[in-house]
Structure 1
Amino acid sequence: MTSSDGLDYTPGELERGATFYVAGHRGLVGSAIWRKLVSSGFENLVGKSSSELDLKERDAVFDFFRETKPKYVVLAAAKVGGILANSTYPVDFLSDNIRIQSNVMDAALEAGVERLLFLGSSCIYPKFAAQPIREDSLLTGHLEPTNDAYAIAKITGILNVQAVRRQYGLPWISAMPTNLYGPNDNFSPKGSHVLPALIRRYDEAARSGATSVTNWGTGTPRREFLHADDMADACLHLLEHYDGPSQVNVGTGTDVTIREIAETIAEVVGYQGETEWDTSKPDGTPQKLLDVSKLAQAGWTSKISLQEGLERTVAWYREHVGALRE
Structure 2
Amino acid sequence: MAFSLHFQQLFHSPTTFPSQPKPPTTLLTPLKLPPTPSLPLLAIAQNASLSNIDSTEKVVLPLQLKREMMPKHVAVIMDGNRRWAKMRGFPVALGYEAGIRAVRKLIELCGNWGIGVLTLFAFSSDNWLRPKVEVDLLMGLFERVLKDELEKFARAGIRISIIGDTSMLPKSLQELIDKAVKTTKENSQLHVVVAVNYSGQYDVVQACQTIAQKVKDGIIEPGDISSFLVEQELQTNCTDFPCPDLLIRTSGELRLSNFLLWQLAYAELFFSHSHWPDFGEAEFLEALCSFQQRQRRYGRQGS
Please indicate, yes or no, whether the TM-score normalized by the shorter chain is above 0.5: no
TM-score by length of 1: 0.29
- Return the structure number with greater relative CO, CA threshold 8 A, min gap 6: 2
